[in-house]
Every structure is written in structure tokens, then in C-alpha cells.
Amino acid sequence: MEKKLIILGVGVVAVLILIVAVPLGVMFWPLKPTFIDRCKELNGYDCETWWGAFEQAYVGKDPRKVHMEDYDNFIKAVNFSAEPNKLMFWSKTKDVVHAFTKKKKDCFLTVEDTALGYMLDGLMSWCGKEGCTKTFRKIGCPGWKENNAVGSFWNRVSAAFADAARGDVTAMLNGDIDTPFNPNSTFATIEVKRFDSPKVKSLTVVLVTGKSAVTNCKNASLKDLQRELKKGIAYNCKEVTEAQLEECSSNPERPCGACW
Ligand code: AVW
């Protein structure tokens, strides 16, 4: 009995430590080492210069007043360009699209697969503070909707990614929700608006459905998307299941684009 109580006590303490330690890790884990380590994985870049250009966007500033233009120096430093036909956009499909591009990286790239987004992918929270040269995580970063350091960063890199689009572009949208083309999404408010004709020749929407397909290519929001495209950009829509994508991406023989 006593032994059981001790085991139970140790278990409770372990769970409590986990509950406290994980959020604390997110709050205090310094951003720079992760940024630099990931940057070095990409090989051959001046990672310290990239970090300097990145942090000057928000360090020493009111965390509620960081605008997307504040990251212009970072975008300049990265100087991103891509081969035509490779760029893959997404909205509400983050996990499925990344599982796909990980296996088909010679065919398609999301912004997180490129130097624009790779270093910060999934890092959730960072900000600065007036009169201070430090980068803060979570604690001290207000949950402000607009003009915060994180949102403005993703807006700016999304804009740069869309500006680099050439030829045929692809977007993986979610067919398990009512509005796959959400007018408030980054894809709608920033990326689609920057697809330029004749640089961009076509957009193919890959509408992915999992267990609960609630819509198809006839969805009203996709009509809005077609209307948003500049004249001269052709539009296609393909319905695919997650299972089909998984099967196809696991087969290295399949040529690019043959998964839909
Ligand atoms: P969403 P969106 N790490 O699913 O169309 C952390 O509603 O709005 O789709 N946060 C991120 C990341 C990331 N890797 N990527 C985006 N976010 C934020 C970038 C961002 O503020 C790609 F090129 C976004 O609004 C896609 O074509 C929010 O998470 C497009 O933007 C939820 O995304 C996806 O943005």
C-alpha cells in the first residue's frame, strides 16, 4: 500500500513538473540558438547577419507596433528566389502539406521549406520591449492581434514568397471546412493578391479532404478565389483525399504533379 502511494506521489510530481516546465521552456527558451542552428542546417549562409537583420525588426520596440515592413532588411538579407512551378501555398492544411512536401521536396516547396520560413517555423512567440535590447518569448509578449512581431513576420515572408512565384503555382486548401478560401487568411489577404500575371501562369487548388469531406471544387469561396486572380492567370481545382496524397508521396517514381 505504502509503495503504491509512493509511486502515485512520484507520478503526480512528474506530471506537475511537465505541466510547469513545458510552458516555461516556451517562454524562456532563447530564440537565437534555434535560429542559428536551423540556419546552419541550410548551409552556406551568413547566419549572424540574418539574425541581426531579423531581430532589428522588433528589438527595442513596443511589441504592439511591429509592422511587416520592419522585416524588409531580413527579406533583403535572405534574397529568396525559386525555380518556376515549385511554390506550394496552403491554408488550414499545415500538417498535411508539410508531410507531403517533405517527401516530394524536389517537386514542391512551402515557405517553411525555404530560408524565408525555416528558421522560425512553429516557434510561436517572440517580441521586444522599448528601451531593451533583448528578445523575449511568450512572457511580456502581449497577445495583440495586429502588428505584433510574429504575425508581421509571417505576413512579410508570405509576401516575399508570393512575389517569388513564377509559372504554375499550387495551393493546398482544406476540403473539410466550409470555407476553404477564407477571406481573412494570409493566403487570401496577402499571397493571392501578389500573384502577378504574366509571371504566374496558373494556380492549381488542391482541395484536400480527410474523414469529413464537407465540400468540393464547387465551393462558393473558391469562386471568390477565381475572381481575385489577376487576368491571365489560369485556374484549376483538384479534389484529393489525404490517403491519396500519402500513397502518392510515398511513391518516389511518381512525377511531380501526378498526385492530383
Ligand atoms: P492558416 P493562412 N509557424 O492555416 O492562409 C507559425 O489560417 O492564414 O493559413 N505560424 C505560422 C506559420 C508557421 N510556419 N505559417 C503561418 N503561420 C501563421 C504562409 C500565419 O500568421 C504560407 F505561405 C497564418 O496566418 C501559407 O500559404 C496562421 O499561422 C499561408 O501563409 C494560420 O495559418 C498560410 O496562412
Q: Is residue 70 in contact with ligand 1, taking CB distance under 6 Å?
A: no
Output the CA angle 133-138-143, nearest 5 degrees: 105
Least confident span in 16-20, 34-38, 117-121, 149-153? 16-20
- What is the domain count for the chain? 1
CATH number for position 126: 1.20.82.10
pLDDT in tens, 221-232: 999 999 999 999
Chain center to CA of 72: 18
The reply to whether 6 falls in a domain is: no
> Percentage of the chain surpassing pLDDT 70?
89
pLDDT tens digits, residue range 60-85? Answer: 999 999 999 999 999 999 999 999 99
**Is the CB of 122 inside a 6 Å radius of any atom of ligand 1?**
yes
Domain assignment present for residue 238? The answer is yes
Asked if residue 12 is part of any domain, the answer here is no
For residues 126 and 149, the answer to whether their CB atoms sit within 8 Å is: yes
116 in any annotated domain = yes
Q: How many helices (H) and strands (E) does the chain have?
A: 10, 4
Q: Is residue 14 part of a domain?
A: no
Considering only CA atoms, which residue is closest to atom 35 of ligand 1?
186
**pLDDT tens digits along 180-227:** 999 999 999 999 999 999 999 999 999 999 988 899 999 999 999 999
For residue 211, is it within any domain? yes
Atom number of ligand 1 nearest to Cα 122: 3
Q: Is residue 47 part of a domain?
A: yes
Q: Which domain holds residue 171?
A: 27-249
Nearest residue by C-alpha to atom 16 in ligand 1: 154
Closest by alpha carbon to 45, among 72, 74, 71? Answer: 74
pTM of the full predicted structure? 0.90
| pLDDT higher than 80, residue 106 | yes
Residue type, 72: D
Cell matching residue 3: 509503495
Pocket test for ligand 1, best of 31, 75, 91, 206 (most atoms within 8 A of CB): 91
Distance between Cα 54 and ligand 1 center (Å)? 18
